[in-house]
Chains A and B, each alone.
Chain A
């Protein structure tokens, strides 16, 4: 396999936290292996995502890191030490583990669940609980939740507790096995953003398994795409994978929208933001206030967008319930993808731009975003091929 050499060359001088070398896992007498001769370096302090379709060996590979699955051949080194030489329970306690179903212990309170690994490590109960209470705050949960039991939490809350539990012993490595795949899309997106926020502070080595290429490109510093049969198809930055899939399998897996998703890596700072007429609640209620141009944006008292008022039906639209619902919002500083999506999803064709407080600051137009995309493509073409293609 040629990939390990290529990745080694690209890796910086720091020793990788986890190193797979020629790792194969096959079950019983089955012909094909679950994981086939995997060699891979996982960098310290970064999020590495294993992504691929069902049965590609991504979860098996993850579980070999903490010896929940034993490799048939090959070696895995963790922080320079051969994992096979470390007692499984000690190895596992040195890594946080978050799984799809939260896996919380139903008979223990939230606090005691979070305190599990510190307690196994011999930390006194009181001290472990204090630490657990702090972690509730870290993962964005009300400290009052600590006294509840897992069955009393929503799916998203359970996953937050699962993350807190994995962090409790402050392990350098976090293993996350499809942790957000069982929650609804809105909560999933929240949890992804919180993981990124946590990672900015904690800088753990995170290995994250998902079947969702979108999630992989959002979270990953590096993404390993696995093909069916446990073959590592491509190991690259998310941008590299979206822009230059190495083969038909990766191109197919990355999917039809990859051109659009790739915009997620292009800064949206250059998009011209135009002013927009806004109506605060008082102005909205007064039909005498006219709509200039085709549309006006209704906002709440904090300036946050509520929806659109079309000029044609200004007379009848006087309360927030009658507004034409708006599209997605483009937060200032986000990528071209979010800017374009805001414009395309808006009924007025005007993408609403908001500041960090969620207040509307203006609008963007799809046509102007396309011009920027085209200009960027030409620049890249020049740099790569010496001429505009």
Chain B
């Protein structure tokens, strides 16, 4: 068994907005169907709520924050799943069921360590 993170890239939506209810339901269905493989799932507020933090110089230096996400992309990181799979083939097969796989993109990355 190996662990992977499936990073969900989709339109930069507010998942709490009523018009997202249908799509959110699809994600819930995904979570139910793959409950055995999903170790954790995270849904994110839109990138407008993001803050990038940098410390100038070295540790202890002045904290500089900027408003907005680290990278401005057409599709935004809107959530992620920690999944357990036999191998990359299985991780890809599970990720292919995420609505973002056809509405945006899913990046699958092997995990070194998680807790």
Pair from one complex: no
